[in-house]
A and B are shown apart, each in its own frame.
Chain A
């Protein structure tokens, strides 16, 4: 007898996405859908998405979705969760959205330990607008607004490490950085996403998964070269790991 062991998640629509070849948004959307199914939260799932390529997700995911003004997803999710605590709300934001224009909203939602889940896609560049410098762009990395490579001597600043920055606050419950470069890391990312949603279901508070991803189009690389670049360069600047996990502290205290 045949047994179904794998199926497309109902969390994404049955259509071809317009994401560039090698883009990892699709992988993350799929994992979020699978996690929502596994946790049985699909019919109360709400996506508050940022502006940029992350805002394209509304065309592909299959549950309630709303778009926030650029950078304001954490503020919007705050209002949504406070007024409807039964919803399971996640923001889906890129590095420009979360770490540049929305830095204050991100910091303060974390500081209040808002009971929301934040999926942060860090690919070190503005994708949709055509490859400008992001707060997470590596030193020396070329972008359309740092044509000679990002150089702090030219007043272009340094890469910002959001997990480490938020980890300075007392508020947040869970902060982890992962990547999606190979099946093992995809599975780790999925486990982190699941934890971040479980925390919200349990009323624990602000949980962010920062996923280091690629942007082959704006990095000017093939998808495979982009994966190599994550491993060789991005992860040196953005080390993977759990930065905050209050559930562990709670267990140890027991």
Chain B
């Protein structure tokens, strides 16, 4: 298939349509406006529905409603908007409803900066709402990865009956890159997906075959549902994805995800050119997190880790520390508030780590 030049947000939306997404609800918030704008143009062409919600709160519940019909449905927002999604996402996780949510992350708590950042890691991976539920969280680092992940996210959501989160940032959302778009699912395929969901869908059934959106939440029902969800989360080990770059003989490891990892990769190349044996571990699923990749490092050879994130304070570092414990020093290389990580900054922090541990 031909490669075309596309903006991240729009490529994201087009990929979702190709995956069979026929419903999008969202509310304006920078830097993800191109996603709803693209859907507003595109969905009517394929017989889908776009609704501009009156708020994020309304939008996420429109998503929840649509997803319950077995229609592939998606929404996107950004940081403070995702906070308003929390309740709806939590309800979907509780009711075990498949849906895809994209967070194009902003730069801090509160209204944050509108420029790119990675300031929502812990919210995305640990507690996107009340109740202790979990989601698969995919962290792309290129526009192509955004496209591939959105396409796949619907399958994952339907496999698990659980929402899936794409954790992107303003760089990925607004930059243009050449991408290869996935195959467009035919109307028949889209209809078949919906038909397959009919048994679970809240669409009206013969009275002898009644469906309940949230069955058994009274009595012991809630505990049973929690046990079932927890058991499902435990099946995710097989879904862990992680890129390891030049780690075979590495003495220092850069740990980074998303757009920061791309910058870190460039730094690894330059460090290697200087004769420093650097490598990169890039979690692609940040939930489930690739703890074992860090746990299985050769701690005789590897002397230190540099955690590179566009977040202050560091957030992914918690997961790295959990895996590594106190076996290695972990340095931080952080930018935040919409200030983009630079290769120079990573090099500088890497040199400081090398000086201390090598």
Interface size on B, residues (CB 8 A): 39
Question: Which segment of B209-217, B241-249, B269-277 sits at the interface?
Answer: B209-217
Q: Which residues of the other chain, B, contact A63 by a CB distance below 8 angstroms? A: 204-205, 207, 210
* A residues with CB within 8 A of B: 10, 41-46, 48, 58-59, 62-69, 72, 75-84, 86-88, 104-105, 107-108
Q: Which of B8-34 contact A (CB under 8 A)?
A: 22-23, 25
Residues of B with C-beta under 8 A to A88:
204
Residues from chain A with Cβ under 8 Å of B204 in the complex = 41, 43-46, 63-64, 86-88
Chain B residue, CB-CB nearest to A108: B54
* Cβ contacts under 8 Å, B64 to chain A: 68-69, 72, 76, 79
Q: How many A-B residue pairs have CB under 8 A?
A: 130
B324 within 8 A of A: no
Taking CB atoms, residues of chain A closer than 8 Å to B315 are none
Asked if B88 is at the interface (CB within 8 A of a chain A CB), the reply is: yes
User: A43 touching B205 by the CB < 8 A rule?
Assistant: yes
Interface pairs (29), CB distance under 8 Å: A63-B205, A64-B212, A65-B202, A66-B212, A66-B213, A67-B213, A72-B61, A75-B57, A75-B61, A76-B62, A78-B25, A79-B63, A79-B69, A80-B66, A80-B203, A82-B49, A82-B51, A82-B62, A83-B22, A83-B65, A83-B71, A83-B73, A84-B71, A86-B204, A87-B204, A104-B54, A104-B57, A108-B53, A108-B58
Q: Please, how many angstroms separate the alpha-carbon atoms of A63 and B213 in the complex?
A: 11
Determine if B154 is an interface residue (Cβ-Cβ < 8 Å).
Answer: no
- Whether A83 and B49, one on each chain, are in contact in the complex, defined by CB atoms closer than 8 angstroms, is yes
Known: A65-B212, A69-B91. Contact between A79 and B61, CB under 8 A?
yes
Q: In the complex, what residues of B have CB within 8 A of residue A82's CB?
A: 23, 49, 51, 62, 66
Q: Check A83–B207 contact: CB distance below 8 A.
A: no
Measured between beta carbons, the chain A residues less than 8 angstroms from B73 are 79, 83
Nearest A-chain residue to B211, judged by Cβ: A64
- By a beta-carbon cutoff of 8 Å, the part of chain B in contact with chain A is 22-23, 25, 49, 51, 53-55, 57-59, 61-69, 71, 73, 87-88, 91, 95, 201-207, 210-214, 218
* Chain A residues near B68 (CB-CB < 8 A): 66, 76, 79-80
User: Are B61 and A84 within 8 A (Cβ)?
Assistant: no
- In the complex, the answer to whether B51 meets A79 with C-beta atoms within 8 Å is yes
Instruction: Write the nearest CB–CB distance from A123 to chain B, whole angstroms.
Output: 23
- Neighbouring A residues of B49 by C-beta, 8 Å: 82-83
Which residues of A have CB within 8 Å of B214?
A: 66-67
A130 to chain B, nearest CB (A): 18
Within the complex, which residue of A41, A43, A62, A84 is in contact with B69, where a contact is CB–CB below 8 Å? A84
What is the bound-complex CA distance between A10 and B218, given in angstroms? Answer: 23
How distant is A2 from chain B, measured CB to nearest CB, in Å?
25
Q: A159 to B50, alpha carbons, bound, how many Å? A: 35
* CB within 8 Å for A79 and B66 given contacts A69-B87, A108-B58: yes
Expressed in whole angstroms, the Cα–Cα distance for A42 and B205 within the complex equals 8
Once A58-B212, A79-B23, A79-B64 are accepted as A-B contacts, the answer to whether A66 and B207 lie under 8 Å apart by CB is no
* CA distance in complex: A4, B71 (Å): 42
Question: B210 near A62 (CB under 8 angstroms)?
Answer: yes
Question: What is the CA–CA distance of A89 and B191 in the complex, to the nearest angstrom?
Answer: 21
Q: Which 3 A-B residue pairings sit nearest by Cβ, starting from the closest?
A: A66-B213, A79-B65, A44-B204
CB neighbours (8 Å) of A87 from chain B are 69, 203-204
Most buried by B among A62, A63, A84, A87: A84
**How many angstroms between the C-alpha atoms of A75 and B205 in the bound complex?**
22
